[in-house]
Chain A
Amino acid sequence: AQKITQTQPGMFVQEKEAVTLDCTYDTSDPSYGLFWYKQPSSGEMIFLIYQGSYDQQNATEGRYSLNFQKARKSANLVISASQLGDSAMYFCAMRELMIKAAGNKLTFGGGTRVLVKP
């Protein structure tokens, strides 16, 4: 089974509107972390936001926020007030913290391409 699933391969969003990118995950590890990365057309991977499995509050970072629903195993990224520069690929990733063999690695989803329209 996929550990990280991003069901939206691509989406359009109007400039200045909010957009939600879906991410669901699968793990038996009680302790884990969830990450979102942005990859613009230049190819660099830019870290956006982190949510820990034991964090009581949803993470926020500027215009980025995470809608974390632990029971549903979902960690959706919300980008508010979209800008043209938000056009990029977005990846959800997970780090399992108690499984020794998992190490420090991240497991990634398939990504969602966002295109912001003016």
Chain B
Amino acid sequence: DVKVTQSSRYLVKRTGEKVFLECVQDMDHENMFWYRQDPGLGLRLIYFSYDVKMKEKGDIPEGYSVSREKKERFSLILESASTNQTSMYLCASSSQGAERNSPLHFGNGTRLTVT
């Protein structure tokens, strides 16, 4: 089974702090994704990556950056956390050569609170 692990389940940070959310997958997947989940808005894509050192902006990249130095690890960075970044963050992965019907595999999420 694919395992996607997010390093923290809950995180509380102060406004202006630099925040790192870590995600590791163990299935040698090329594609990795960061989503944020907010009530009524569903999941919105922040950034994704097709390969090591490659990244693509999603629908809401403002205020975020990412790092993919190793294939299995995809980090989401909040350079200066703000209260409007309080949310649930979900990491996901999939294989590059995946069949069109292959789903994304998700981690259990990190609930971030910025005070």
Residues of A at under 8 Å CB distance from B? 4, 6, 9, 31, 33, 35, 37, 42-45, 47, 50, 52, 91, 93, 95, 97, 103-111
Task: Tally B residues with Cβ within 8 Å of A.
Answer: 26
Q: Determine how close the nearest CB of chain B comes to the CB of A72; give it in whole angstroms.
A: 21
* Count of CB-CB pairs between chains A and B under 8 Å: 59
Q: Determine how close the nearest CB of chain B comes to the CB of A103; give it in whole angstroms.
A: 7
* Interface residue B78 (Cβ < 8 Å from any Cβ of A): no
A95 to B108, CA, bound (A): 22
Contact indicator A52/B42 (Cβ below 8 Å)? no
Q: Determine how close the nearest CB of chain A comes to the CB of B91; give it in whole angstroms.
A: 11
A110 to B43, CA, bound (A): 7
> Looking across the interface, which residue of chain B has its beta carbon closest to that of A31?
B100
Q: Determine how close the nearest CB of chain B comes to the CB of A8; give it in whole angstroms.
A: 12
Q: Is the interface of A mostly helix, strand, loop or mixed?
A: loop
A106 to B96, CA, bound (A): 14
Contact indicator B44/A108 (Cβ below 8 Å)? yes
Contact indicator B103/A42 (Cβ below 8 Å)? no
A91 to B104, CA, bound (A): 13
A28 to B43, CA, bound (A): 21
> Looking across the interface, which residue of chain A has its beta carbon closest to that of B56?
A103
User: Could you name 5 residue pairs across A and B whose Cβ atoms are closer than 8 Å?
Assistant: A6-B42, A33-B101, A97-B100, A106-B104, A108-B44
